[in-house]
């Protein structure tokens, strides 16, 4: 059970599958009984999953029913729940008698999801709404005005002219919709500043481009220019041949008006109904669009709300940040490193002085772009200074997935290890591939969690063997790639180390490792990206997993002999050490539990391998300790991921990587990744716990604060097991 980690046994016949989309809608319902009723009565749930923005609904408030309009559908927080669910809420604008009875103007926790009058907006789960049955959006338009769709005089992407305050202006039609009984056009004027981009104008008041004065031509890139129009004899093919070669997944820039442009990725190319011009459906990098990939009731692609835009293909220009050296100045190319071909020769990971020489400096590491920090930090941590997961690069893969592996190996890992730099365009290639392979459509633009990326590429695409095999009690063995630490707040753990957190989590969940992992990836106890259970966590440079292994010999923590009994209650006894599970040999167990406060403890008999028993009888044989080595830590602060990497054996051998540490230029510029050495970390690792607890984060030297206060994911390796994995 996700709520408390307990295990229950159910009749399989009473279970029903729960699709991910349905789970997201249900998880917004806080009352578990209402949630179950909504699942069992599919009428409301099905209506909610088919609902669209602009649809009419009824809302019950204080035993009164008011009408409203759906203005937003989606999540209303920055990160999913610990279970990975993203609750879907409905942003509703109350109308009529309901005006003024809401709680907001479309803004929640400082983020604007839609616009409405003050106190007219509400965010509600699906079970709080009554959905009004209505025809599909496109069908409604056709019934209201047969000319609106198909033979409409104005379509999305058309260049139009209109009067505004007695001044004639031109712009691009961004959306066509019906407001009460009047058809309206949402226009982006080409001569207005960025503060007032969109205008909504009645369709009767606009004129299409071909009806404008023939002495002027509207250029999609630079506004109105006094020049003759193109000859009508030029074919569409001729025009297309003169425009840059663009295709799906091309990264482009669109100039909407004077001094105002947006960037995005082409997700669809084709012709809209009754429109011979080739159009592009673009997922923008920012919330400056008008849809989620749907136009007039037809879905052409999928993206987050307000990220989708349909424009003429010729209005799209290649994003110069991703062009080769021939399109940029030598100085700019030298800085940005955008012309980065694949490196086909394989290289070992970087260590010690070699790592410093290759990786340290500005424009080093992996260049960030468009919310890529989660992937940049994860890839740098996993491949810069260790080979523990190099099997991902060389494991034989099926042909469809071989391209992903080639990009990962030849365009990211090899350039990183040989040149110390990976261009943003190379990572973007990988993100586009993950978007195609995964169920999520926004890997190329949206921020994700590192574990979501790792699970997708390791399990679903490359199919490598699970990194962890766990067993709870005597239940069926479980496999996973990352381990999330779950535990109750421990009052006596003010500044814990990773060893303590792992032991508490394993003990509370009754877990054991079935085998020694080659790579052990740990997620720290926190809720999303904001809430941290502990203000500081001390990195354990070594993680002792001897007592966490299933059916492995263990030593008595009192005398060091072979242990035969384990006591979970003694683990919490303040009389004993605050680290290490408590197991005893028979004699020490009897002595420890002769105390009246421990007589009621429940003991667990340990399994000792017969081979080890035979050898131990021949003489004093110590139980071997199995320890893992820390090689990297991912940290997060205000939704931005960075990483710390251990590049050598000394305590001072730490480097800090930030894929977006600096920037060159504004919207037309690029991020400058930076790798810096941070030997100051050693100073805090050697501090007594009490002294470290008293340290104010703002007073800690260099970047040490981020390692101790913002840890999100720890990565450990077993060099011994890595030889066999």
- Any idea which residues carry the catalytic annotation? 373, 640
- Alpha carbons 523 and 486: distance in angstroms, whole number: 9
| Phi, then psi, of 673 in degrees rounded to 5 | -70, 150
Write the DSSP symbol of residue 469.
E
| Phi, then psi, of 630 in degrees rounded to 5 | -75, 130
371 and 307 in contact (C-beta within 8 Å)?
no
- Alpha carbons 182 and 166: distance in angstroms, whole number: 22
For the record, the structure tokens of 360 come out as 């340290």
Q: How far is CA 269 from CA 43, 273, 300, 313, in A?
A: 36, 13, 9, 8
- Alpha carbons 302 and 74: distance in angstroms, whole number: 13
337 and 243 in contact (C-beta within 8 Å)?
no
SS3 (DSSP) at 376: helix
Nearest to 559 by CA among 584, 591, 590, 592: 584
Question: How many residues would you count in the chain?
Answer: 725
413 and 380 in contact (C-beta within 8 Å)?
no
- Alpha carbons 647 and 632: distance in angstroms, whole number: 9
Residue recorded with tokens 């292994």: 549
Give the H/E segment covering residue 252.
strand 251-257
Give me the helix-helix angle, 399-406 and 424-437, nearest 10°. 160
Nearest to 481 by CA among 452, 461, 524, 449: 452
Residue recorded with tokens 């009824």: 58
Residues near 660 by beta carbon (within 8 Å), at least 6 away in sequence: 368, 373, 640, 671, 672, 673
């Amino acid at each position: 059970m996700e709520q408390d980690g307990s295990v229950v046994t159910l009749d399989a016949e009473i279970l029903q599958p729960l699709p991910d989309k349905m789970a997201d809608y249900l998880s917004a319902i806080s009352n578990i009984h209402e949630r179950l009723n909504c699942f069992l009565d599919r009428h409301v749930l099905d209506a909610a999953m088919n609902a669209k923005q602009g649809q009419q609904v009824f809302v019950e408030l204080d035993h009164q029913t008011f009408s409203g309009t759906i203005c937003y559908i989606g999540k209303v927080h920055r990160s999913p729940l610990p279970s990975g669910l993203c609750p879907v809420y409905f942003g509703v604008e109350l109308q009529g008698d309901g005006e003024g009875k809401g709680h907001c103007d479309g803004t929640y926790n400082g983020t604007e999801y839609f616009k409405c009058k003050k106190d007219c907006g509400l965010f509600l789960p699906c079970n709080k709404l009554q959905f009004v049955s209505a025809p599909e959006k496109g069908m409604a338009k056709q019934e209201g005005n047969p000319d609106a769709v198909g033979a409409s005089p104005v379509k999305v992407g058309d260049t139009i002219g209109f009067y505004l305050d007695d001044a004639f202006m031109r712009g691009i039609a961004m959306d066509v919709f019906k407001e009460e009984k009047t058809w309206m056009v949402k226009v982006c004027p080409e001569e207005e500043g960025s503060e007032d981009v969109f205008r909504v104008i009645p369709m009767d008041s606009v004129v299409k481009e071909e009806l404008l004065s023939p002495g002027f031509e509207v250029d999609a890139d630079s506004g109105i220019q006094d020049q003759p129009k193109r000859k009508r004899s030029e074919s569409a093919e001729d025009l297309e041949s003169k425009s840059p070669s663009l295709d799906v997944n091309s990264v482009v820039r669109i100039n909407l008006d004077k001094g105002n442009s947006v960037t995005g990725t082409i997700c669809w190319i084709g012709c809209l109904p009754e429109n011979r011009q080739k159009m592009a459906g673009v997922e923008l990098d920012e919330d400056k669009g008008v849809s989620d990939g749907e136009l007039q009731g037809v879905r052409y692609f999928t993206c987050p709300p307000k990220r989708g835009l349909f424009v003429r293909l010729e209005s799209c220009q290649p994003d110069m940040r991703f062009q080769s050296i021939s399109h940029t100045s030598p100085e700019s190319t030298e800085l940005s490193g955008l012309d980065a071909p694949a490196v086909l020769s394989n290289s070992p990971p970087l260590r010690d002085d070699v790592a410093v020489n290759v990786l340290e400096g500005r424009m080093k590491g992996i260049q960030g772009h468009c919310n890529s920090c989660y992937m940049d930090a994860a890839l740098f941590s996993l491949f810069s200074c260790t080979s523990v997961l190099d099997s991902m690069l060389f494991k034989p893969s099926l042909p469809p997935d071989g391209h992903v592996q080639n990009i990962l190996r030849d365009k990211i890992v090899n350039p990183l290890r040989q040149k110390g730099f990976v261009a943003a365009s190379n990572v973007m290639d990988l993100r586009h591939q993950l978007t195609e392979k995964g169920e999520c459509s926004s890997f190329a633009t949206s921020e994700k969690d590192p574990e979501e990326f790792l699970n997708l590429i390791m399990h679903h695409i490359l199919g490598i063997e699970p990194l962890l095999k766990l067993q709870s009690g005597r239940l069926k063995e479980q496999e996973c790639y990352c381990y999330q630490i779950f535990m109750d707040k421990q009052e006596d753990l003010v500044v814990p180390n990773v060893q303590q957190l792992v032991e508490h989590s394993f003990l509370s969940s009754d877990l054991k490792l079935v085998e020694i992992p080659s790579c052990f990836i740990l997620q720290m106890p926190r809720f999303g990206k904001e809430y941290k259970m502990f203000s500081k966590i001390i990195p354990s440079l070594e993680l002792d997993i001897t007592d966490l292994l299933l059916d492995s010999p263990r030593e008595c923590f009192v005398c060091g002999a072979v242990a035969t009994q384990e006591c979970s209650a003694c683990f919490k006894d303040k009389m004993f050490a605050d680290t290490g599970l408590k197991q005893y040999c028979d004699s020490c167990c009897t002595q420890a539990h002769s105390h009246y406060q421990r007589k009621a403890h429940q003991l667990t008999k340990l399994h000792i391998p017969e081979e080890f028993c035979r050898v131990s009888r021949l003489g004093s044989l110590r139980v071997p300790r199995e320890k893992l080595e820390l090689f990297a830590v991912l940290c997060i602060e205000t939704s931005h991921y960075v990483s710390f990497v251990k590049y050598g054996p000394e305590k001072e051998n730490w480097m800090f990587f930030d894929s977006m540490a600096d920037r060159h230029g504004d919207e037309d510029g690029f991020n400058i990744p930076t790798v810096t050495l941070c030997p100051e970390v050693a100073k805090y690792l050697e501090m007594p716990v009490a002294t470290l607890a008293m340290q104010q984060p703002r007073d800690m030297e260099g970047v040490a604060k981020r390692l101790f206060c913002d840890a999100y994911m720890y990565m450990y390796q077993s060099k011994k097991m890595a030889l066999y994995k």
